[in-house]
Structure 1
C-alpha cells in the first residue's frame, strides 16, 4: 500500500466517522423532540398513552418510592453528566463531538423511563371547578412550556441539544468559544427556562397528589440545578457573570437580584 492510499483511506474513515456522529446526534435530537412533546402531554393530561394521573394503581408507599426513584435517576444523570470533571473523564471514551448528544439521549431515555413506570397518585389536592378558570390555568401552563422552548432558541437551541456540535464536526469545523449574552427573557431573569418549567408544572386546573409530588420534587431539583449551573457559569465567564447576577433576578422578573 502506498502512502497516498493510506492517507486516502484515513480520510475516508474520518469522513465516515463524522457522518456516523452526525446521524447519532440527529437521532439523539429526534429523541429529545419526541420526549419534550410527550412531557407536555404527560404533565398537562393531554391525549397521550399515559399521563401523570393514569397507569398502574399501587400502594401509596410503592408509588412514592418508585416515583421519587425515577425523578432521582433523572436528576443524577442530568446534573452529574453536565459537570466539567465528568465531561473531562467521559470524553476519554466518547468523542467530544457527540458528548452533548449522548447527554441529551440519556436524559431523554431517563424521562421515557419515568413516563413508562410512573405510578399515579390520583387523590385530588385541588380542582378548579369553573370551566373558564380551568381553561385559563391550563393556558398558563401552556405559556410555561412556551417559555421553556423559546428560551432554548434565545440562547442556542441546537448547541444546547447537541446538533450544532455534530453538524460542525461533519463540516470539519471547530465549535466557536462560548460567549456571554443576555437575549430577551434573560434581561429579566437569569433562568427563564427553569421559570417556564415551574409555571408549567404548577399551573394545573386539577392538582392530584402525584402531580403535586412531581411538581415539588422537580422544583427542588431546579434550585439545585441553578446552584450548580451558576457555579459553572461564574467559573466560565468570571466577573461578567458576577455582575449579571448582581443586576438580574434569578427567577422572578423585576425582583431585586437574589
Structure 2
C-alpha cells in the first residue's frame, strides 16, 4: 500500500468511525436511527439473549485481541505500520455495525421514568456521558487515537510522534474517562428495557476486565513506574471513589 493510498485509507476509516459513533448514540438512546437497541420485532427471549451475547463477544474479542502488542507486531508484517491503528478502528466499526444490525430487542421494562423529572435528568446524563467520551479523546490525542496522525506522518515520510504520558483534564480525576463516559451513556436511560440492561451489564463487565486486567498491563509495560504511581493515586472510573486500584 503506497503512502497516498495509506493516507486515503486512514481518512476513509475515520469517516466510517464518525458515522458509527453517531449511530451508536442513536442506537443506545433510541433516537432517530432506523434500528435501535429497543426497536424491531421481539422473538424468543432465550434466542435473543444468545444472539446478543454472541454479538457482544465478537466485539469484545476483536477489541481486545487486536489491541495487544503481540498481535500488532504480527499484524504489521502484513500491513503498513502506519495503517495499523486505522485498521483497528475499521474492525471495531465493523463489529459495532454487526451489533447495530443484528441486535435482538428484549422489551420487558426494568424501569420507565419517561415524562418525569427523573427521566429528564437521565437523558441529560446520557448526553453528558457521550460528551465525556468525545472530549476525553481530545484531552490525550484524538488524531493519534484514531490513526490520522500515523497516516499523515507516513504520507510526509516522517515518524509519527506518539503522545507522552501527562495528566490533563478528566485524566486528573479518573484514569479512563472515555470508559467513564461510556458507562454513564449506557446506564443513563429514562426507559430501561431488559435488552438494554443486558447490553449495559455485559459492556460494563467487559470494560472493567479489559481495562484493569489487559490495557493497564500494557500501559505499565510501556510507561513504567510513572503509570504505576498514577494508578495508585487516581481512581479508574469514578472520581473520588477510593484511591487508585
After superposing on structure 2, the runs of 4+ consecutive aligned residues of structure 1 that deviate more than 6 Å are: none
Give the C-alpha shift of residue 129 in structure 1: 4.5
Q: For residues 17-41 of structure 1, give each alpha carbon's deviation from its aligned partner in whole angstroms, at most 9, with x where no partner exists.
A: 1110011001111111000100000
Distance 1:48 1:88 in 2: 38
TM-score (norm 2): 0.97
1:231 maps to what in 2? 217
Tell me whether 1:257 sits opposite 2:244 in the alignment: yes
Give the deviation of 1:203 after TM superposition: 0.6
Unmatched runs of 5 consecutive residues or more in structure 1? 1-15
- Tell me the SS of whatever aligns to 1:220: helix
CA displacement 1:37-78 (0-9 Å, x = unmatched): 000000011111111001242111110111000000000000
Point out the more displaced range, 157-166 or 248-257: 248-257
1:3 is aligned to: none
| Matches of 2:35 and 2:114, distance apart in 1 | 24
2:55: which partner in 1?
A: 70
- Higher Rg of the two aligned structures: 1
Distance change (3 Å), C-alpha of 1:177 and 1:146:
closer
How has the CA–CA distance of structure 1 residues 129 and 101 changed in structure 2, closer, same or farther, with 3 Å as cutoff? closer
| Gapped regions of structure 2 (runs ≥ 5) | none
CA spacing shift, 1:61–1:179, aligned 2, 3 Å: same
The offset of 1:178, in angstroms, is 4.4
Which residue does the alignment assign to 1:18?
3
**Contact map agreement 2:141 2:163 (CA 8 A) in 1:** no
Look up the match of 1:80. Answer: 65
Match of 1:245 in 2: 231
The Cα shift of 1:132 comes to: 2.8
Aligned length in residues: 243
Cα displacement string for residues 63-101 of structure 1 (whole angstroms, at most 9, x for unaligned residues)? 011100000000000000000000111111011010000
Q: Per the alignment, in what secondary structure is the counterpart of residue 107 of structure 2?
A: coil
SS at the partner of 2:2? Answer: helix
The answer as to whether partners of 2:132 and 2:178 remain within 8 angstroms in 1 is: yes
CA-atom RMSD, angstroms?
A: 1.1
